[in-house]
Amino acid sequence: MSSATSPDWPSLAIVVPVYNEGANIEHSLREIAEVAQQYPGRAIVIAVDDGSSDNSANVLSDLAGELNLLKLSRHDSNAGYGAALRTGAQDAAKMGLDYVAFIDSDLTNPPADLLKIGALARDGEPYIKGSRFLPGGGMGSVPFRRRAVTRAGNAVGRLLFGTRLADVTNGFRAVRTELFLSWPLQERGFPIIVEELDWALRQGIEPAEFPTVLTARGSGQRTSTFPYSLQTLRSYLRYPMRSLRRRLGNAMKRSR
């Protein structure tokens, strides 16, 4: 946290879900913490160890003893990405932090863009999402197959949700803490990204977007746990389809 915080910038929890990232998490959290120190308002980094079976817990404990703005939570067993985010948001609420930002632990999201999130939060935006499809955004060294699947998925999701949002599935985002915790989110895994978007849109909240570049994991990092499977596709489609049915139902009621 900067030595002189600005009251114009809302306080920010930076939640980092961690699962078996012992080889790289120290480097990642140091970079994230460096940006948190530059944040004009109060900023706290919350690392949530989601039941790692490697040495992640020991690395995090050692690092927390050094970095004052790093706080830790731990699940006794692996509960999933969505569960880790909810734990981080609950911790943020206990600390009285206005916004909760979610960033991956592998630095495929650029930590410097947390300052873009802060600027939009300062402007009063309740829900903020990074976009790979705005000018200035992109997918860097992400393999072509993943880029193609992502673009197709976003096009379908945008159509079904009926939103002008350019990047429906991006997980680099921030929400007002009380708003995030007001949504009855159930997803344990990555589909929480579209589950929360569904709740926002049904409340008339269109996210504010900022351009960001997603990169691929480095050769020294473990393979991404994101499952490109039929089950994942069904889970992701459940929420835009629910949104479409709701909008069609409302349209039929208005036409009567």
Q: Which two tokens stand for residue 245?
A: 């049915």
Q: How far apart are CA 111 and CA 108, in angstroms?
A: 9
Q: How does DSSP assign 217-256, residue by residue?
A: PPTTSPPP----SHHHHHHHHHHHHHHHHHHHHHHHHHH-
Q: How many contiguous H segments (helices) and E segments (strands) does the chain have?
A: 8, 7
- Residue ranges per domain, the chain? 12-255
In words, the CATH class of domain 12-255 is alpha beta
> Residue 4: is its pLDDT beyond 80?
no
pLDDT, average across residues 128-137: 97
Residue 82 confidence class, pLDDT cut points 50, 70, 90: very high
Q: Is 11 exposed, middle or buried (0-12, 13-18, 19+ CB in 10 A)?
A: buried
Q: How far apart are CA 158 and CA 228, in angstroms?
A: 19
pTM of the model: 0.92
- Tens digits of residue pLDDT in 92-126: 999 999 999 999 999 999 999 999 999 999 999 99
> Quick one: pLDDT at residue 115?
98
Closest residue by Cα to residue 96 from 199, 187, 185, 181: 181
